[in-house]
């Protein structure tokens, strides 16, 4: 019996944030920037699981900061639509097979700064790459 290939899954958060930054011309990252801009988007991997032998479903929590609750919600809606539009495409040589809603967008002001923020979570299915 031959050994199964070793698969390594890509950083789905990095791939998604790269597209958000390019398409919306906004600061993105995984930590609050210092100094804090008026509007920015954070994304964090909150979990994952292998769906098939070659695909992984990655849960990504998004946080969208803006000047008002309405602007934060609008930004969250735009980011969500943009990530959903990635389904079926290939980014950084990684196929995005599926994007689905887990929760949100919802109004959730930042507790420390009281800056308006809208949050939501998506699940992004990506393909792994075979390693020798």
pLDDT tens track for 86-127: 999 999 999 999 999 999 899 998 888 889 999 999 999 999
What phi and psi, each to the nearest 5 degrees, are found at residue 117?
A: -150, 140
Decide if 127 contacts 88 (C-beta within 8 A). Answer: no
Kindly report whether the peptide bond that precedes residue 24 is cis, defined as omega within 30 degrees of 0: no
User: pTM to 2 decimals?
Assistant: 0.92
Write down the domain spans for the chain.
6-131
- What CATH number is given for 6-131 in this structure? 3.30.2000.30
Helix 12-24 vs helix 69-85: crossing angle, to nearest 10: 120
Average pLDDT over the chain reads 93
Instruction: Tell me the two tokens of residue 13.
Output: 């958060």
Task: Read off the pLDDT band of 3 (50, 70, 90).
Answer: low
Instruction: Tell me the two tokens of residue 120.
Output: 């939501």
Place of tokens 């899954």: 9
């Amino acid at each position: 019996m031959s050994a199964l290939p070793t698969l390594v899954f890509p950083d789905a958060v990095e791939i998604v944030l790269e597209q958000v930054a390019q398409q919306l011309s906004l600061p993105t990252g995984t930590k609050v920037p210092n100094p804090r801009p008026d509007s920015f988007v954070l994304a964090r991997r909150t979990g994952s699981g292998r769906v098939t032998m070659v695909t992984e479903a990655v849960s990504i929590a998004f946080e969208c900061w803006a000047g008002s609750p309405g602007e934060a919600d609008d930004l969250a809606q735009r980011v969500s639509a943009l990530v959903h539009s990635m389904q079926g495409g290939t980014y950084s040589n990684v196929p995005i097979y599926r994007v689905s809603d887990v929760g949100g967008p919802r109004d959730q002001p930042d507790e420390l700064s009281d800056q308006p923020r809208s949050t939501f979570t998506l699940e992004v299915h990506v393909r792994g790459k075979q390693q020798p």
